[in-house]
Amino acid sequence: MEKWSTVNLENFNGPIDLLLHLIKEKELNILEVDLLVLSNQYIDYIQSLEVLNIEVASEYLVMAAYLLELKSKILIPKEVIEFDENYEEREREELINRLIEYHKIKEVTNFFKEKQDEYLKSFSKKKSIIKVTKIDDDKLPLAKNTINIDNFSKIFLNAIERNKFKNLETNTLTTTEVSPEELAKDIIEYFTDNKIKNIDLEELINLKEYSLKMLVATFLAILDLAAKKIITIEQLEEKIIIEVLM
Report in angstroms how near the CB of residue 40 gets to another protein at its nearest.
19
- The secondary structure of residue 4, as a DSSP letter, is G
- The torsion angle over the Cα atoms of residues 197, 202, 203 and 209, rounded to 10 degrees, is 130
94-113 positions binding another protein, by CB under 8 A: 96-98, 100-109, 111-113
In whole angstroms, how close is the CB of 100 to another protein at the nearest point? Answer: 6
Phi, then psi, of 56 in degrees rounded to 5: -70, -40
Contact mark string toward another protein, 55..74, x via CB under 8 A: ----x---x-----------
At CA 33, angle to CA 31 and CA 34, rounded to 5?
Answer: 140
Nearest approach, Cβ of 88 to another protein (angstroms)?
16
The reply on whether position 131 binds another protein by CB under 8 A is: no
Which positions ≥6 away from 143 have C-beta within 8 Å?
226, 229, 232
Whichever of 58 and 148 has its CB closer to another protein, that residue is 58
Of 144, 152, 164, nearest to 202 (Cα)?
152
Interface ranges with another protein (CB under 8 A): 13-17, 23-24, 27-32, 59, 63, 93, 96-98, 100-109, 111-113, 115-128, 130
